[in-house]
Amino acid sequence: MVLKQKDDSWKIISKEPMGSYSLRNIFLLLFLTKFHISLKYIPRLIWALSLSFITFPMRLIESIRFDNKIKKTQVIKDPIFIVGFYRTGTTFIHILFSKDPQFGFMSNLDCFMPLYNLTFENLARKVFLKLMPKTRPMDNLKLIVGEPQEEHYAVASKSQFGILNALIFPKKFSYFTRFLSFENCTERELSKWKSVYHYFVQKTTLKHDGKQLILKNPANAARIKYLLEMYPNAKFIYSYRNPYTLYPSMKVFFKKLLEIFTLQSWDENEIDDSFLKLFNTNFRLFQDSKKLIPPNNYYELQYEKFIENPLRFLEEIYEKFQLKDFESVKSDFLQHIRDQSDYKPNTHKIDRKVIETVNSHLDRYRTEYGYGRLDPK
């Protein structure tokens, strides 16, 4: 039985991310999902189609102006990838690195208006400020137009790839989340993902005048093999967290996104089980593939220790990766850390159900990173 929402989140229409998709991609996704849209979410679909239709001339102009330039752009310095599952502090790491001007990144603007952000940047900024929430729904962090964002939003705008489409169409959750690992995909699907992904890497490189990119996407932990095929000298920062606090935070995170993104009703228990399976697949593939990363290109950190002294870990990363000019940007890092000192993260109750779920589903993860086992009382 489908669980009914206890709130009126279905009334939120203008946050639907498909509004930034190409019309072709929207109809492709509707075809793949057999046009299965829950009645109460039809206004979201109409809004997304309307916005996509209105912005079609902008996308066309951008394509004419920049597509050839983008496809000819060389990525001289392979990116630095921030991985680790959702809710392990990757956003904080990403934002800190964005304070260093030697790096480029995909901003909120680039990710949420990815198909006309170069030609119509000022207009896209106004649209962003008008439509996007002031804070992130899952943790109340400020959503600032120029701060970094996960590139999967951009990739999803012109393809079927990425977890975003699984959130929009949760009844096809397993279909869309297979693109996180590509375990059950064809070579053609993998090749297409590589092409779309590299296109946005090239586009962001062009925008930032050839700078090395800092990219953050938790799903990339399951794609290490393929990322290294594309970017053999890429560097990776992996973060992990106590699963007893990670699991409830992750659950709230995805529930909040589903509420404002989905076009289909969902069963909360089924979705919870699906995300646990996804977590374990992500973790298993990362453990299997991280050995492919040259030791000097890999840095691992514990979330709880990182937030206590982020500057120390940043300095270690700069030293290990032989990145330049840490001292010159140290004050910028410190300023952002001070600016976040008043931020109050969500607190989550570690009740019997949480403990039993972690012990049943995330015990290998807990053991791998040395966290003590809790027993339900």
Do 138 and 257 touch, CB atoms closer than 8 A?
Answer: yes
Mean pLDDT over 231-252 rounds to 95
pLDDT > 90: what percent of the chain? 77
* Token couple for 25: 């991609």
pLDDT for 75 equals: 97
Rounded to an integer, what distance in angstroms lies between the CA atom of residue 339 and that of residue 305?
19
Rounded to an integer, what distance in angstroms lies between the CA atom of residue 303 and that of residue 249?
13
pLDDT for 340 equals: 80
Residue 143 has pLDDT above 90, yes or no: no
pLDDT for 269 equals: 87
Rounded to an integer, what distance in angstroms lies between the CA atom of residue 41 and that of residue 39?
5
Beta-sheet strand order (sheet of 103-104): 103-104, 212-216, 80-83, 235-240, 298-302
251-310 pLDDT per residue, tens: 888 888 899 999 999 888 888 999 999 999 999 999 999 999 999 999 999 999 999 999
pLDDT for 139 equals: 63
Mean pLDDT over 140-144 rounds to 71
Bridge partner list, 214: 80
pLDDT band at 333 (very low <50, low <70, confident <90, very high): very high
Q: Which of 25-29, 109-113, 227-231, 317-321 has the lowest mean pLDDT?
A: 109-113
Q: Could you write out the DSSP letters of every residue in 251-289?
A: HHHHHHHHHHH-SS---HHHHHHHHHHHHHHHHHHHHHH
pLDDT for 4 equals: 45
The 10 Å CB-count burial string (b at 16+, else e) for 144-153 is ebebbbbbbb
67-95 pLDDT per residue, tens: 999 999 999 999 999 998 888 889 999 99
149-159 pLDDT per residue, tens: 999 999 999 99
What's the angle, vertex CA 128, arms to CA 127 and CA 133, rounded to 5?
Answer: 125
Residue 110 has pLDDT above 50, yes or no: yes
How far does CA 298 lie from the centroid of its chain?
20
pLDDT for 142 equals: 73
- Which sign does the torsion angle of CA 106, 110, 115, 117 carry? negative
Do 261 and 362 touch, CB atoms closer than 8 A?
Answer: no
Residue 208 has pLDDT above 50, yes or no: yes
Residue 121 has pLDDT above 80, yes or no: yes
* Token couple for 105: 């990144």
161-180 pLDDT per residue, tens: 989 999 999 999 999 999 99
Contacts of 113 (CB under 8 A, 6+ apart): 20, 124, 127, 128
- Tokens 């300095």 correspond to 315
Q: What are phi and psi of 107, to 5 degrees?
A: -85, 175
How far does CA 120 lie from the centroid of its chain?
24
Q: Could you write out the DSSP letters of every residue in 59-108?
A: HHHHHHHHHHHHHH----SPPEEEES-TTSSHHHHHHHHHTSTTEE--BH
pLDDT for 187 equals: 96
Contacts of 94 (CB under 8 A, 6+ apart): 82, 105, 148, 214, 216
Residue 3 has pLDDT above 90, yes or no: no
Q: What is the rounded average pLDDT for all residues in the chain?
A: 91
pLDDT for 124 equals: 87
Neighbours of 204 (CB within 10 A): 26
pLDDT for 127 equals: 81
Query: Which helix H or strand E contains 320, and what residues bound it?
Result: helix 310-320
In the chain, where the domains are located: 11-368
Rounded to an integer, what distance in angstroms lies between the CA atom of residue 105 and that of residue 21?
20
What's the angle, vertex CA 320, arms to CA 316 and CA 323, rounded to 5?
Answer: 90
Q: At what angle do helices 326-339 and 90-98 cross, to 10 degrees?
A: 130
Q: Which of 256, 290, 250 is nearest to 274 (CA)?
A: 250
Residue 5 has pLDDT above 80, yes or no: no
Residue 192 has pLDDT above 70, yes or no: yes
CA 135 vs CA 129, 138, 140, 261, 363: distances in Å: 11, 9, 5, 15, 33
Q: What are phi and psi of 297, to 5 degrees?
A: -110, 15
pLDDT for 137 equals: 59
Q: Tell whether domain 11-368 is in CATH 3.40.50.300.
A: yes
8-66 pLDDT per residue, tens: 777 778 889 999 999 999 999 999 999 999 999 999 999 999 999 999 999 999 999 99
pTM assigned to the model: 0.93
pLDDT for 376 equals: 86
